[in-house]
Amino acid sequence: MVPFLNLDLEEFGRQEPWEPGPCSWTCGEQVSELGLDSEVLPVRGDHPAAQNRFLYVGGALHALPSGIRGLLRPSPPFSKPLFWAGLRDLTTPRGKDPDETVHSFAQRRLGPEVASLAMDSLCRGVFAGNSRELSIRSCFPSLFQAEQTHRSILLGLLLGAGRGPQLDSALIRQAQAERWSQWSLRGGLETLPQALHAHLTSRGVSVLQGQPVCGLSLQAEGRWKVSLEDSSLEADHIISAIPASVLSKLLPAEATPLARALSTITAVSVAVVNLQYRGARLPVQGFGHLVPSSEDPVILGIVYDSVAFPEQDGSLPGLRLTVMLGGSWLQTLEARGCVLSQELLQQEAEKAAATQLGLNEPPSHCLVHLHKNSIPQYTLGHWQKLESAAQFLAAQKLPLTLAGASYEGVAVNDCIESGRQAAARVLGTEPNS
Mean pLDDT by 10 residues, the chain (433 residues): 29 38 58 88 93 96 81 86 92 94 97 96 95 97 93 87 64 88 88 92 91 92 91 94 96 96 95 94 96 95 95 82 92 88 96 97 95 95 96 95 95 87 87 54
172: number of Cβ within 10 Å? 21
Using DSSP's 3-state secondary structure scheme, residue 70 falls into helix
**Which is nearest to 141 in space by CA: 334, 418, 356?**
418
**Predicted pLDDT of residue 161:** 54
Q: How far is CA 177 from CA 1, 30, 45, 170, 180, in A?
A: 22, 19, 10, 11, 8
**Predicted pLDDT of residue 5:** 28
This prediction has a pTM of 0.89
**Predicted pLDDT of residue 181:** 87
